Amino acid sequence: MTRPERGATAPRTWRKPPFIANPWLRYGAWLLLAGYLVWAFGTLPFNWERIGEGLPRAARIFGGGFPPSFQRADLLLTGFKESFQIAILATLLGVLLSIPFAVMAAKNIVPRPVYLVGRAVIIVSRSFHPVIVAILFVAAVGFGPLAGILTLTVYSIGFVGKLLAEEIEEIDWGQVEAMRATGAGYLATLFYAVFPQILPRQVGLSMYQLDSNLRASAVVGIVGAGGIGGTLMNAFGRYDYDFAFAILLIIIAVILVSEGISGWVRKKIW
Partner 1 sequence: MLEISKLVKRYGRDEPVLKELDLTVEGSSVVSIVGASGAGKSTMLRCINRLVEPTSGSIRLNGTELVALKGAALRRARRKIGMVFQGFNLIDRLTVMENVLAGRLGYVNLYQAISRRYPREDIERAFTLMERVGIAHYANKRADALSGGERQRVGVVRALMQEPEVLLADEPTASLDPRTSEQIMILLQSLASELSLPVLINIHNVAQARTYTERIVGLRHGKMIFDGAPDDFTRDALDAIYGGIESPEEEPVAPANPPPAQRDRGLPHDAT
Residues engaged in binding partner 1 (CB under 8 A): 108-112, 172-189, 191-193, 196-197, 199
CB of 168 to partner 1, least distance (A): 11
C-beta atoms surrounding 179 within 10 Å = 19
Closest distance of CB 105 from partner 1, Å: 14
Contacts of 214 (CB under 8 A, 6+ apart): 83, 84, 87, 254, 255, 258
Instruction: Give CA–CA dist 44/46, Å, rounded.
Output: 6
If the CB atoms of residues 15 and 112 are measured against partner 1, the closer one turns out to be 112
- Least separation in angstroms between residue 177's CB and partner 1 is 5
Nearer to partner 1, 36 or 173 (CB): 173
- CB–CB of 131/219 below 8 Å? yes
Contact 170, 234 (CB under 8 A): no
Please, what is the Cα angle at 253 between 56 and 262, to 5 degrees? 140
Cα separation, 105 vs 205, in Å, equals 17
User: Considering the complex, what minimum distance in angstroms separates the CB of residue 95 from partner 1?
Assistant: 18
**Which lies closer to partner 1 via its Cβ, residue 199 or residue 257?**
199
Q: Which is nearer to partner 1, 134 or 193 (CB)?
A: 193
